[in-house]
Structure 1
Amino acid sequence: MLVREAMTRPAVTVRPGTPARSALRLLRDHAVTALPVVDDEDRLVGVVSEMDLLRGEFEPDPRASVRPAEARTGPPPRTVGAVMTRKVLTTGPNSDVAGLAEMMLRTRVKSVPVLDGHRVVGVISRSDLVALQVRDDERIRADVRTELAAYLTGSGWKVRVHDGEVTVDGDLGTADRRVVEILARTVPGVVRVTVPAAPGAPEESG
């Protein structure tokens, strides 16, 4: 599956000069954990996360300790540019979701901006990946059948799905099986595709 088939679009972005409180409201309103930060020419210059924006926002409550709370040494950050991360991991719309998922787990990054050239066209997050894995098998089956219907004619094939694993049975040659596997893999939620050869069917050369 490609990133463009799993990402959230359009991306909600902010500017370095966006007030921190405004960015926090955007996170809440759009149910995301991070926002790409773009300059006046819409080029990506950083990412700001919920933890970045919450830093320094809360004063210690004197009721929580018998000791006097330490006074804050300075005001909390007022703009996104003061707290954003400038070194940003990005991906492209035609990248493989499998490789990106492994990288996100390895680096513990929660969301990654998707760039087409220098333009932010979407964001892919851990929640997007989770949503793919919990899609209902019947919805996956229906979507796979829709994808294959334009390619496979007749009624001599059927689709089975269990926990995101797709099996397509039918009287299919080697070339057809390869195409069917590619088409089925484009459906969100598919984790594996099996297209067994028909019993007694000869393998095609080439």
Structure 2
Amino acid sequence: MTTPAVTVSPKASAVAAARLMDGHGVKRLAVVDHDGRLVGIVSRRDLVKLFLRGDEAIAAEVRDDVLDRSLWVDTGDVRVDVRQGVVTLSGRMERRTEAAIAVRMVGRVNGVVGVGDRLTWKTDDSKWEGR
């Protein structure tokens, strides 16, 4: 153990806890309430489990949360394939910028280790034609 103990609040995010562990070079954090009382211990393994997800769970979140709910554009022609945490998006979208946004959003899904972009688009709106 380090002295003083490195602690985290029960309300801290998993990312905040991971950064705290990394910053202090510790493998476990004491979880303490607002009075400084120990309420638990969080380990590296606990945090890693949050990000280790099955391919089907990742694919479902990409389809349901990112493509269907978050993008607000037609993604009916987009296919999602996940293998060992690598998501491949293929198919067609309306605009190039929307395809790029989709790829970035998928990369932020927990458990995704990489994104393969095989998307095509109908309109290349990536260049501004100012007059």
Tell me the TM-score normalized by structure 1.
0.41
Deviations for 1:38-96, whole angstroms, at most 9, x for unmatched residues?
xxxxxxxxxxxxxx6xxxxxxxxxxxxxxxxxxxxxxxxxxxxxxx8425266964957
**Does the alignment pair 1:162 with 2:80?**
no
How far did 1:126 drift? 1.3
Identity over aligned pairs, percent: 25
Give the equivalent residue in structure 2 for 1:198. Answer: 120
**Does the alignment pair 1:182 with 2:101?**
no
Q: Which has the higher strand share?
A: 2
- Partners of 1:129 and 1:202 lie apart in 2 by 40
- Partners of 1:201 and 1:96 lie apart in 2 by 40
Over aligned residue pairs, what C-alpha RMSD do you find? 4.1
- Which structure has the bigger radius of gyration? 1
How far did 1:154 drift? 4.8
Give the equivalent residue in structure 1 for 2:64. Answer: 146
Deviations for 1:155-187, whole angstroms, at most 9, x for unmatched residues?
211111011111111223332123213332343
Count of matched residue pairs? 116
2:120 is paired with a residue whose SS is: coil
List runs of 5+ in structure 1 lacking aligned partners: 1-51, 53-83, 114-121
Question: Bigger relative contact order, structure 1 or 2, given CA contacts below 8 A and separation 6+?
Answer: 1
List runs of 5+ in structure 2 lacking aligned partners: 32-39
Tell me the TM-score normalized by structure 2.
0.59
- Partners of 2:20 and 2:80 lie apart in 1 by 27
* C-alpha spacing 1:127/1:94, structure 2 compared with 1 (3 Å): closer
Which amino acid in 2 is paired with 1:190? V
Give the equivalent residue in structure 2 for 1:100. Answer: 19
